[in-house]
Chains A and B, each alone.
Chain A
Amino acid sequence: MNQYFHSIRIDAEKCNGRMKCLRICPTQAIRIRNGKAMIIEEKCIDCGECITSCPSGAIIPLTNPFGELSRFRHTMAIPSPALYAQFGREILPDRILAGLKKLGFDDAFELAFTCGEVSFAIQEYLREYKGPKPLISNACPTVVRLIQVRYPGLIDQIIPIDTPREIAAREIKKKKSKQFHLKEEEIGTFYLTPCPAKMISIKQPAEKGKSDIDGAISISDIYSPLLSAMEGLEKRSYRKALESICILGIGWAIVGGICRTLRLKNSLDVSGINDIIKVFNDIERGKLRNIDFIEAYSCHQGCVGGSLTVENLYISYNKILKLIETLEFEKIKACPDIREVRKLYNQKYFFIEGKLEPRPLKPLDEDLGRAIKKRKEKEEIYEALSKIDCGACGSPTCLSFAEDVVRQEVDLSDCIFNLPRRFKEISREITELLEKTAFLNPDRPKTKERIKK
């Protein structure tokens, strides 16, 4: 059953069953079965924590290889603003975009500008929104998946404005196909991604049929060739390069960047999946109603912390922050015109096409009565377990093991602590068996006596 596309694959040959992924997975979506890790599709939210934790390199992010450019007549690189944070401070976006063109893309798109437009659109939406608060950013696909799976009640609080990458790809296809008299499908749009999760939002968008992005190339794959491509480039003045940066958009690379550059008063920014879960629990309890907007990123520090980035996430976070501070200090505002954005906003230019649907986990049973009964069984099984969450059974915790038993995916005897008990049972069975046979029966007549008879 392959209902859900995932951007993560486990290479069974490389997997040694060392359980690092089992323990780190925030949604307990991994099990070790027959010594190999496997992913429970419906539970996985593609956060990528397992990729970085695997000591054998057996968990592989699915991105597109660089070579796929030749499939298209015209290609466009759309780098995540997180790419701008990967190099030294003196290397600014204009140089990186020029480097991408030298690498073989026909063109490179400054996504930060679209990010800026979307920031303004979010501001507009927040202004007119009257529903339950807080609204939650949809920039991180893992956060969107987390809400669909674990917090279906919060789904209407996800902001319905499309992501900059999707809007940019859509507009690029329109514009370039007209400009070069090509079909839209002949224009290749490639997102340069800091994480594998973006891949799922491309292959299986949460809210619409098909993405306008044709592929995602890992930042870590393109890093080294890009670095050499930039070497021979002519240098532009730092000030000039600075003046082309949209301050609103550059902030999308880091957590808190949208809120800071929009100067939102009642906002909150959170990063790291476990901290997000804490905050979402609070929202569900109705605790954060005074907050207007939450920026949440599964990776620490935001997209700069993605598992497919190269630079240390604190250094890259700092680079973007300093850049924002410099632009603020220099009063440089190479941003979209808010009146233009308002016009587009009223034409529904920014809104997502479809509606986001919840994706709640399969209950223990389809029949409510039986589900209740199974939940009770789970509790009883759990109570009898050691509760030390050793993971030797292949389930991440004793509680999840109890559930796996109830779901009949494993057997109670798979728990290592049941082994001594099991041995005792087996030895008792053997003794009984032996006693039944003549050898151990003291009342059994001796062989000689038998012969005499």
Chain B
Amino acid sequence: MTMGDENRFLQSFEIEGKNFGKAGSISTKVKEILQEIGIEPTVIRRVAIATYEAEMNVVMYARRGELTLNLSPTEIHIEVEDEGPGIEDIELAMQEGYSTATEEMREMGFGAGMGLPNIKKNSDKFEIFSTPGVGTSVHIVLYLNQSVRK
């Protein structure tokens, strides 16, 4: 990384597990920051969807979590780490339509089994790590320079 820290925006946000009333507030904050900086609307929309899904996963399953936005003039890094049940079988969880959501969650319109696939779909780089019983960490990157994008 050659970019000096001066041109890097770094901020972390606490996500409360099980607090459905506040769900979505962090992804809105991230969106507003990107808008003020002047990131392209199409990129912002992808970030909005990805961060919202990641935030919802924490709200639905974990005790608590943290979203870190790390922005440079060339890329947006977002890391969402949580303390929660973790994922036993990541490959299975990545399948569209697979969900462990409870009846109540589904009734509220969550847990359609599109969360993780949606995050992957809306990012240029996607990584997920999980330790059952400890927590999950999702790391995504979106490139701001067209030429960098695969």
Interface residues of A (CB under 8 A from B): 150, 152-153, 281-282, 284-287, 358, 360-361, 363-366, 368-369, 371-373, 375-376, 378-379, 403
B72 at the A interface (CB under 8 A): yes
CB<8 Å pairs between A and B, sample of 25 = A150-B35, A152-B41, A281-B28, A282-B24, A284-B31, A284-B48, A284-B49, A285-B24, A286-B48, A286-B49, A286-B118, A287-B109, A361-B36, A368-B37, A368-B73, A371-B37, A372-B9, A372-B37, A372-B71, A372-B73, A375-B9, A375-B37, A376-B9, A379-B11, A403-B36
Chain A residues with CB below 8 A from B36, complex form: 361, 363-364, 371, 375, 378, 403
| Contact A284–B45 (Cβ < 8 Å) | yes
Chain A residues with CB below 8 A from B93, complex form: none
Contacts A284-B45, A285-B27 given; indicate if A371 touches B52 (C-beta within 8 A): no
Contacts A285-B49, A287-B109 given; indicate if A360 touches B9 (C-beta within 8 A): no
Taking CB as reference atom, which chain B residue is nearest A284? B48
Bound together, the chains give a CA A371 to CA B144 distance in angstroms of 14
Apart from A286-B52, A372-B8, A403-B36, 15 more pairs, CB < 8 Å: A153-B44, A153-B45, A281-B24, A286-B53, A287-B52, A358-B41, A360-B38, A360-B41, A361-B36, A365-B38, A366-B38, A369-B7, A371-B37, A372-B7, A375-B36
A interface secondary structure, majority: helix
| Contact B48–A364 (Cβ < 8 Å) | no
Chain B residues with CB below 8 A from A368, complex form: 37-38, 73, 144
Chain A residues with CB below 8 A from B72, complex form: 372
Leading 7 A-B pairs by shortest Cβ distance: A363-B38, A285-B52, A153-B45, A152-B41, A369-B7, A368-B73, A371-B37
B42 at the A interface (CB under 8 A): yes
Query: Quick one: which of A287, A364, A365 has the most chain B CB within 10 A?
Result: A287
Query: Quick one: which of A152, A281, A365, A372 has the most chain B CB within 10 A?
Result: A372
| Contact A361–B37 (Cβ < 8 Å) | no
Taking CB as reference atom, which chain A residue is nearest B3? A369
B104 at the A interface (CB under 8 A): no
| Contact A373–B7 (Cβ < 8 Å) | yes
Bound together, the chains give a CA A287 to CA B11 distance in angstroms of 25
Chain B residues with CB below 8 A from A369, complex form: 7, 73
The interface bits of chain B over 39-81 (1 if a CB of A lies within 8 angstroms of the residue's CB, else 0) are 0011011001100110000000000000000011100000000
Bound together, the chains give a CA A379 to CA B9 distance in angstroms of 10
Bound together, the chains give a CA A285 to CA B53 distance in angstroms of 8
